[in-house]
Amino acid sequence: MSLPGAVSAAPSPHNDWTLIAPVEPGHPAPTAQVSVLVVGDGGDPAGAARTVAALRQQRYPDRLLQIVTVTADSDFADQVGTAKGEIIVRIPAGAVPAPDLVSALTRWQQASPAAVSVAVPMIFSGRAPDPDVIVAHASAGTLGQLFPGSTVDPGLARLLDTTHQLRTADHLVFLAAAGTGYAFQRDRYQAGSDRFQGTDVEVAYRLAQAGAVFVPEPAATLWTAAPADPVTTGQRADAELTDLVPFPRERRNRPGRVWQVPLVTAVVPVDQPYRVVRSCVDRLLGGDERDLHVALVGDWAVAGTDSGGADSSQADSSGTDGSRADLRLLAAEYRSEPRVRMVSSAPVTAFPAPYLLRVPARLGVGPRTVRSLVAAMEKWRCGLLRVLPAGAGAPTHAVELWSTAARSRALHAGTADGALVEAVAASHGQRWETGSEYDVVDLTAAGSGAAGGSATAGPRGGRRAGQTVTVGGARSLGRATVFVARKYARGVRRRLVSR
């Protein structure tokens, strides 16, 4: 959905928001309905009162502004769903917004529905002013005088400095929204667990996976008190967020744990015999990247097996049947494995997981393959990484790692499924790698170990590739295939010479 009068813009590569041309605040006069959600735990009613008092002084038309207080006993997702506004502004209770905050933030959504505009938080110490004092100073245009000595949040300042004001930010860009106010178009939000503590980061993370472009808005000032007990506050937020947000990775340093939102969702179609599919899945589950779930795609209804209720609105048409006997064997094999679910259709994206790994059932990965692929994608900041094994008949017979954020952005732009590769390559880039570099093998070939289903390391152990080819939207897949074939040919010649 685009807002009335929205300016069309080309998709921004990565997080380069400079391609978005926002309207000037107040020019033309605002027409978008805005809902401001003041989010708190209910334990500080005075803080919420300060925020609402400041919002009543906003230089935004009253008829277009809705203010909603969200506490721990109310559901954030429900409040978003019932909000009147096309644009949602989320503000932490207790923060004091400057009079121009709503106008400054929401001008970006008028230009691009993908924009998430972020206010600059100013941290102050000492006693917070009373609501009536805030109203008086906001009316006089002297609100800043109430917070002498306030400074920009050091975490955000550091992030802005190291990423050219977020233009070169990586997959952690959503952390810019932590602890501050930000605005987004309502239909870009897909509900999560929305627990109170840390929900600012979870909502921002889910917006990032939906393809958002995060924009710092220096004209949107927000004064917020320094936490009285930052250690306890941080522990509470981490406890809530670790299960729901895979980043930063160091949070998930508990071996053997299974998380609600995985780092990687792997999709395997059941289009090979039982023993081959089992080997493919077991190799994925047995690798050193355990933060992974597997979606096993087949016609489970034919086998008389409950598929777990795949959402057809979020599925493509690549589901495969498999034989009834094979499906029953696989259902029995993985019915107690918490990281495997049986679905009738392949998911369009891995949302809310940040990475979608598509693995043809005939291919097997090594112990370090998945972790190496994720590391390569984060290093190169590409949207699609493809690995062709030796003897692959076509570029479509590849292991594919997709960035959920890049894929979602293309889908929101109306890109058809058949054009997703080109769209993602244009906005985020695409890279090809060879199977020997990442220990990807054909399980149907003789001596592959498919019968045993073991994940044994190849000679390179999934090492980072020394050579890759970048494929943009205009480069042919044929060139990538030639590149991979030549690499394999050179490898064969080296082996022959060594003999």
Give the model's pLDDT for residue 472. Answer: 45
Residue whose C-alpha is closest to residue 451's, from 443, 442, 459 = 443
State the 10-residue block means of pLDDT for the chain, 499 residues long.
42 87 83 94 86 96 94 78 92 95 96 96 92 96 94 94 96 95 94 66 94 96 87 78 91 89 97 96 96 96 63 44 86 96 95 97 96 95 91 77 96 88 93 91 73 45 42 45 47 32
Separation between Cα atoms, residue 179 and residue 157, nearest integer Å: 13
Give the model's pLDDT for residue 173. Answer: 97
Residue whose C-alpha is closest to residue 385's, from 292, 296, 468, 442 = 468
Give the model's pLDDT for residue 406. Answer: 96
Please report, in angstroms and rounded to a whole number, the separation of the first and last CA atoms in the chain. Answer: 63
Question: How many CB atoms sit inside 10 A of residue 24's CB?
Answer: 8
Separation between Cα atoms, residue 217 and residue 241, nearest integer Å: 26
Complete domains list, the chain, with CATH: 17-251 (3.90.550.10), 264-498 (3.90.550)
Residue whose C-alpha is closest to residue 292's, from 260, 259, 262, 255 = 262
Separation between Cα atoms, residue 105 and residue 215, nearest integer Å: 9
Q: Tell me the two tokens of residue 400.
A: 């594919």
- Measure Cα distances from 49 to 53, 67, 127, 133, 197 in Å: 6, 12, 15, 12, 20
Give the model's pLDDT for residue 254. Answer: 85
